[in-house]
Every structure is written in structure tokens, then in C-alpha cells.
Chain A
Amino acid sequence: MANPNKKIADSGALYLYGISRNPAGPAAKKPGANLPPKAPKIGSAGIDGVHAVEALVCGDFLCWVCKVDHASFADAVERNMENLEWLALHGVRHQQVVGEVAGQITIVPARFGTVFSGEPALFKDVLGRKAALNKVFARVAGGDEWGVKVFAERQAAPVGVPAARSGKEYLQQKAARLKTRPERNDPELQELATALAKIATDSAPSGKVSGTQPNLLWQATFLVPRNKRRQWDQVLRNFVERWDGRRRIEVNGPWPPYSFVSDAE
């Protein structure tokens, strides 16, 4: 359970989830000061499944952290970058916390796996990027990240193609049917991208992991202002109706603004 008022020993390594604005007035902004009463409390498990999630006051900001064992956790991060099970478990835990914070207060997420040696290092870094952080907060506040994917619907076997006479011919015919990779400049996909981008504040390429999903034609990630959801839904609805039977649209979200915070680097 989060215990926001607990002080963390300076020597402890800290896993950083992300940074929010300090909702307190200018009074209680000294680094390490007690949390303002308005700060959200987080119930999700920490990144190691043991330590609680805590918010640390750092001037105008709140840092969402949890303690980790310096040597073993930092080593585990390095060792497990290709270990799907480790990444799945910790990626899900990371998202649970960042998502829970984002449901209550704007958060600028840190890169998955970021560990600081201790409070002094964390505060030094955060205070050093104050101007950049403020710029990013201004852009992402009031928005959610959404992923949009377009899939080709499975095509029936084309009429008029003779039955395959050999295994090789069968495979060639099958490959031709499965070949749904779009021409790079498919005008309808571009039309959707343009319509969505008009409503969104920003967009980013997506599908870093899912790029090889079968029948995927196009995907992108958008930062969508919450007060424009009606227009956003309308654009999607128009394309869903237009593409019925030919193409399927899938959306996922709302996510914290993971893909739109690199300006704070």
C-alpha cells in the first residue's frame, strides 16, 4: 500500500514511474517535504511486487517511485531485456501504477526500467529539467494516448483460381491471398490518418512490438484531448461503416501519454 508520508532513506535506490505536478501551493515544495493532502494514493504493487509506491515532493513536482534493491534490481533490468516473461510481469506492473496515477493526475511517464541511485540523484535530475517538464505538462494535460490499428479482413479464396495441382502451387496461391501488405500510399489509409490527426494534439508511429501481427495494414498512436472524444469517435465510426467487411479497426486506450513525452529529455 502506498504510504505517501514515509521518508525514504537517502541510500535507497529508487525506481521512477513518472512525474506529476505538485498540486500543493508554493508552501510545501521543499524537496523531501511531506506530501500535500491532495496527492493521490496508489494501491498497485511496486515494480518488484514488494515495495509500496510512493510520491516524493520535489519542488513543483511529485515523483512517483518505489524502492528497489540497488544491486539485484538494476542487474535484473540489464539481464532481462530479451526475457519476455520478465518484461511481461514488470511491464504490466509498470502500466498498473502509471495508469492508476494517470486516472487521478497528469503524469509524464519515465522510460520503463529507470532506476536512480537515491533521492539526491533523482531530485537533481528532476529539478534540472524543470523547464522541459513544464512544456511537456502543458502539452499532455487533458489528453489520453490511443492506439489505432487497421486490419485487412480475411479474403475468401478468389473465384476462378484452379485447384492447386501441387504443394508448391497451393503455397503460392495461399501466399497471394495472404499478401495484404498495403501499398505504402494507400489513399484510404492516408485519409483516416489525416482525419484522426486533425483531432489529435499529436501522433506517433506505434506498434514497436506488434508490428508483425497478421493482416495488420496500418497503425499509429495519437494524443487525443478528452474534450474531443466525440469528434474522434465520429471519425472512427465513419471509417468502420465505410470499410465494413473489408477492413477492421481496432482501438486501444486510454493510455497515459507514454509516446508523447520525449521533449522532456
Chain B
Amino acid sequence: MGRGRPIRLSLMPNDFESVAEVLGGEEEVSLLEILDHVLNSGVVIHGSLVISLAGVDLVYLGLNVVLTSVETALTNLQIAEKRKK
């Protein structure tokens, strides 16, 4: 598998050489997966040297991500991006 964008695979029991070749649903990762990996991970830098640091309320957010469909969230995101341009 290339080292490009992460993908999501729903694995099916076919004959496959590698996970990447299992076509049962190779998809772009969803917002849920991105937030799962990106939020509240990475090196935390404490102290007076930083002026901001995101401590996300994951319980609250988890509920919201489930309630808001990924499509809705990403659509809103694209609209917001277009508005900025």
C-alpha cells in the first residue's frame, strides 16, 4: 500500500494478496477516523512556551460525531471552506 492518504477497508474473506486488495469497501477515511487519530494525541507541550493547546472534550464530541452524519459534517466543512475563498 502506498504511503499516501489513509484509507478505510472493510475486510471481506476473499483470496487476497494484501489487505489493500480486498475490495469490500476501500474508502477514504471518514471524519470519525480522522478525529479518532488526530484529537488528543501527539506530543503535548506544557508550560509557558505555548499559548494554546487543544484539550478536546471527547465524550461530548463523540456523541456529536455519531449524531451528525459524517457526510453532513464534511459537507458543512466544504461549504465553510468555499465561503473563505
The proximity string for A residues 38-65 relative to B, scoring 1 for CB distances below 8 Å and 0 otherwise, is 0000000000010000000000000000
Interface centre among A99, A207, A209 (most CB of B within 10 A): A209
The answer to whether A111 and B40 have CB atoms under 8 Å apart is yes
Residue A201 CB within 8 A of the other chain: no
* Separation of A208 and B38 alpha carbons in the complex (Å): 10
The answer to whether B36 and A207 have CB atoms under 8 Å apart is yes
The answer to whether A248 and B10 have CB atoms under 8 Å apart is yes
Given known A-B contacts A110-B42, A236-B11, A144 and B3 have beta carbons under 8 A apart: yes
Within 8 A of B (CB), among A217-232: 221, 229-230, 232
Given known A-B contacts A77-B54, A82-B57, A244-B13, A210 and B39 have beta carbons under 8 A apart: no
The answer to whether A87 and B3 have CB atoms under 8 Å apart is no
The answer to whether A95 and B34 have CB atoms under 8 Å apart is yes
Given known A-B contacts A88-B31, A249-B11, A252-B33, A208 and B54 have beta carbons under 8 A apart: no
Residues of B within 8 A of A (CB): 1, 3-13, 16, 18-19, 22, 29, 31-46, 49-58, 60-66, 68, 73-74, 76-77, 80-81, 84
* Separation of A95 and B1 alpha carbons in the complex (Å): 18
The answer to whether B74 and A88 have CB atoms under 8 Å apart is yes
The 4 closest A-B pairs by CB, nearest first: A113-B54, A74-B52, A258-B41, A109-B42
**Residue among B35, B68, B81 making CB contact with A91, cutoff 8 Å:** B35
The answer to whether A212 and B62 have CB atoms under 8 Å apart is yes
Residues of A within 8 A of B (CB): 13, 16, 18-19, 49, 70, 73-74, 77-78, 81-82, 84-85, 87-89, 91-92, 94-95, 98-99, 102-103, 108-117, 121-122, 124-125, 136, 144-145, 147, 206-213, 221, 229-230, 232-233, 236-237, 240-241, 244, 248-255, 258-259, 261-262, 264-265
The answer to whether A209 and B53 have CB atoms under 8 Å apart is no
* CB closest chain-A residue, reference B46: A265
With a cutoff of 8 Å between Cβ atoms, the chain A residues found around residue B55 in the complex are 81
**Residue among B9, B46, B63, B76 making CB contact with A252, cutoff 8 Å:** B9
* Separation of A88 and B63 alpha carbons in the complex (Å): 14
CB of B31 to closest CB in A, whole Å: 5
CB of B52 to closest CB in A, whole Å: 4
**Residue among B53, B56, B58, B77 making CB contact with A114, cutoff 8 Å:** B53
**Residue among A49, A115, A241 making CB contact with B50, cutoff 8 Å:** A115
CB of B39 to closest CB in A, whole Å: 6
With a cutoff of 8 Å between Cβ atoms, the chain B residues found around residue A16 in the complex are 45
CB of A19 to closest CB in B, whole Å: 8
With a cutoff of 8 Å between Cβ atoms, the chain B residues found around residue A254 in the complex are 1, 3, 6
* Separation of A213 and B36 alpha carbons in the complex (Å): 12
